Chain A
Amino acid sequence: MEYRVKLEVFEGPLDLLLHLINKAEVDIYDIPIAVITEQYMEYLWTMQELDLNLAGEFLVMATTLLSIKAKMLLPHRRQGGEREKVEEEIDPREVLVARLLEYKAFKEAAASLRKMEDRQSLFISRPVEAQSQGWQWVTEKTLGSVSLWELIAAMRQVMGRRKPEPSRARELPRQEITVNHQIEVLWERLGRQPSLSFKAFLRDFPDRSHMVVSFLAILELARLQKIMLVQKVPFGDILIMSLVSPSMQAMPDRDTA
Chain B
Amino acid sequence: MAGFLFDEPRAVVESLLFVATEPLDVQTISELVGISPAETKAILDRIRSELESPLHGIQLVELAGGFQLCTKPGMAPYVEKLYHRNIPAISQAALETLAIIAYKQPVTRAEIEEIRGVKVDSVLTTLMERGMITEVGRKDGPGRPILYGTTREFLKHFGLKDISELPKLPAPESTAGLPEHILPGA
Binding site for B on A (CB under 8 A): 1, 4, 7-8, 11-15, 29, 55, 57, 61, 90, 94-95, 97-99, 101-110, 112-114, 116-117, 119-128, 130-131, 137, 139-141, 147, 149-150, 152-153, 233-235
Identify which of B48-56, B139-147, B164-172 touches chain A: B164-172
Find chain B residues with CB under 8 A from A235 CB.
131, 153
Cβ contact within 8 Å between B115 and A102: yes
Let me know if B44 is at the binding interface, CB within 8 A: no
Residues of A close to B95: CB separation below 8 A: 110, 113-114
B121 to A, closest residue via Cβ: A4
Q: Is chain A's interface secondary structure helix, strand, loop, or mixed overall?
A: helix
Q: In the complex, which residue of chain A has the Cβ closest to the Cβ of B94?
A: A8
Which of B98, B174, B183 is A113 in contact with, Cβ under 8 Å? B98
In the bound assembly, the distance between CA atoms of A7 and B118 in angstroms comes to 8
Interface residues of B in 98-126 (CB under 8 A from A): 98-100, 102-103, 115-119, 121-123
Q: Choose among B83, B134, B183 the residue that contacts A127 (Cβ–Cβ < 8 A).
A: B83
Q: Are B116 and A110 in contact (CB under 8 A)?
A: no
The reply to whether B73 and A14 form a contact with Cβ atoms under 8 Å apart is: no
Please tell me if B129 contacts chain A, counting CB pairs below 8 Å: yes
Residues from chain A with Cβ under 8 Å of B122 in the complex: 1, 4
Please indicate the chain A residues that have their CB under 8 angstroms from the CB of B151 in the complex: 234
Instruction: Select from chain B the residue with minimum beta-carbon distance to A108.
Output: B170
Which B positions have Cβ atoms within 8 angstroms of A? 19-22, 24-25, 28, 32, 59, 61, 68-73, 75-76, 79-80, 83, 85, 90-93, 95-96, 98-100, 102-103, 115-119, 121-123, 128-129, 131, 134, 151-153, 157-160, 167, 169-175, 178-179, 182-184
B101 to chain A, nearest CB (A): 10
Is A99 touching B129 in the complex (CB atoms < 8 A)? no
Asked whether B169 lies within 8 Å of A117 as measured between CB atoms, the reply is no
- Whether B68 and A125, one on each chain, are in contact in the complex, defined by CB atoms closer than 8 angstroms, is yes
Contacts of B183 in A (CB 8 A): 98
A150–B135 Cα distance when bound, in Å, is 13
Residue from the list B21, B25, B134, B152 in contact with A125, Cβ < 8 A: B21
Q: Are A147 and B134 in contact (CB under 8 A)?
A: yes
Most buried by A among B32, B85, B92, B151: B92
Contact A110 B71 (CB under 8 A): no
> Which chain A residues border B96 with CB–CB below 8 Å?
11, 106-107, 110
Bound-state Cα–Cα, A120 to B64, Å? 12
Does A98 lie within 8 Å of B175, measured CB to CB? yes
Task: Among B103, B117, B128, B174, point to the contact of A149 (Cβ < 8 A).
Answer: B128
Which of A1, A8, A107, A113 contacts B158, CB < 8 Å?
A113
Write out the residue numbers on chain B whose beta carbons fall within 8 Å of the beta carbon of A1: 122
Complex contact B169–A11 (CB within 8 A): no
Question: Assuming the A-B contacts A4-B119, A117-B90, are A105 and B131 also in contact, with contact meaning beta carbons closer than 8 angstroms in the complex?
Answer: no
